[in-house]
Amino acid sequence: MSTRSTSSDSAADFTSRATTALARLIAAGHRPAALVGSWFGYRAVLAANVELTACDSTALFTSPDPNAWLFGFRPYSGTSAHGIAACVALLADDGTWHFDGPGTGDPSNPDFQALQETIKYSHENTRDDALPAATPLEWDQGDRERHQLAVENCKEAIAAGEVYQTCISTRFHAELNAGSGTNVDVDNAALAHAGAWFSSRVARYQPARAAFLPGNLDAGIPILASLSPEEFLIRAGTSVTETPIKGTIPAGRPPNELLRSDKDVAENIMIVDLVRHDLGQVAKTGTVKVTDLLSVRPAPGVWHLFSTVSAELPDQLSHAELIEACFPPASVTGTPKLRAIELLREWEPEPRGAHCGAIGAAHGDALELNVGIRTAEYTKDPNSGRVRVEAGIGGGITIGSTPEGEWAEIEAKAAPLLLES
């Protein structure tokens, strides 16, 4: 069932509407999930409350209710989690909100009531200064020396014929000063900070595949605030696309430089071949096609090279089976994939966690996931109770890479996350 909201506005300020609504729900004591940018044919998908629970990756995005909306994630390392939303609000291109899900239209459903009240508020308060400000975080500088050593190790492995390229990641760390109090106070403070951090950056940078999940810190499930520009899997029935990003220059440089860069073009094409292989494991024979190759598009702080691969799937293939065949995303591993993953474990000093995993939602036979890059991950130390915030940033390494150039790329990608916290 789907209904239409009674008010209508221009789509020009859809981002402000969605982020204002998210911040309002958190302030009212809810634990919302949000997808902002381009999701399921809408500008935003918003749920008032989602209780995330850990699940095996084979059960991810599986529900007995075909009308249910499931939000969740599969981390690069760690345990998957998902949760059902009673109903969702969907922001269309013309600025109108629609409702969908089992609880839609039920005046006694508290989530449906919360969404209605929040949408009314967002129509009346869409200024950027209406968003709450996140307390600044003091981020560390990242391990530049270790990252540059990993680049050198990768180039040696390429020269030896072990791999053709890999994606090397580094992590930045901060600690949230949530004040003293009970665990519930700390959790709510972390959720409020994450919501404010996410909302302000989405409003400013408008990433294409932004996602927010409320987590469950006591259960070891992180709060995720993702500014990802990258699609992982976009499924509608038996049709699926994957759009890897490979190739990056800072936003201040002419975008056509990317197409003149042998290093960036080669990086992208190698990953396109890997995506074709991943999808080919489960696709109908002869249906895997490259539908877009080497498109230059903007992302927060940078220009990227995008390519798109499409395929047709068997009718009975589950969402979890599709994810399993393609996971981890090709663009954040390397070629050949299995050897690249083995080497990355040796070169990177910390597990990636949610970074480079997949975040999104499923509804019936539709599934949409981003690649969990440019993502802040809030976790709680089980001993001290203090909240840590981590952000992983990575980049593709080829034989033409230099340690200095790769660190400059890390800094350009990290700036929207780490500056003006």
Active-site positions read 230, 246
Cα 340–158–271 angle (5° rounding)? 55
| Per-residue pLDDT, 10 | 41
Kindly report, residue by residue over 28-87, the tens digit of the pLDDT: 999 999 999 999 999 999 999 999 999 999 999 998 888 899 999 999 999 999 999 999
Q: Which tens digits make up the pLDDT trace of 181-228?
A: 544 588 999 999 999 999 999 988 889 999 999 999 999 999 999 999
pTM score, whole prediction: 0.93
155 phi, psi to nearest 5 deg: -65, -35
Higher pLDDT, 6 or 189: 189
Delineate the domains of the chain, giving CATH numbers in brackets: 2-133+183-225 (no CATH), 144-173+239-354+392-418 (3.60.120.10)
What's residue 139's pLDDT?
96
Average pLDDT, the chain: 92
Residue 2 binned pLDDT confidence (cut-offs 50, 70, 90) = very low
Q: Over the stretch 100-135, which tens digit does the pLDDT of each residue have?
A: 999 898 889 999 999 999 998 887 765 555 567 788
Q: Each residue of 129-185: pLDDT tens digit?
A: 556 778 899 999 999 999 999 999 999 999 999 999 999 999 999 999 876 554 458
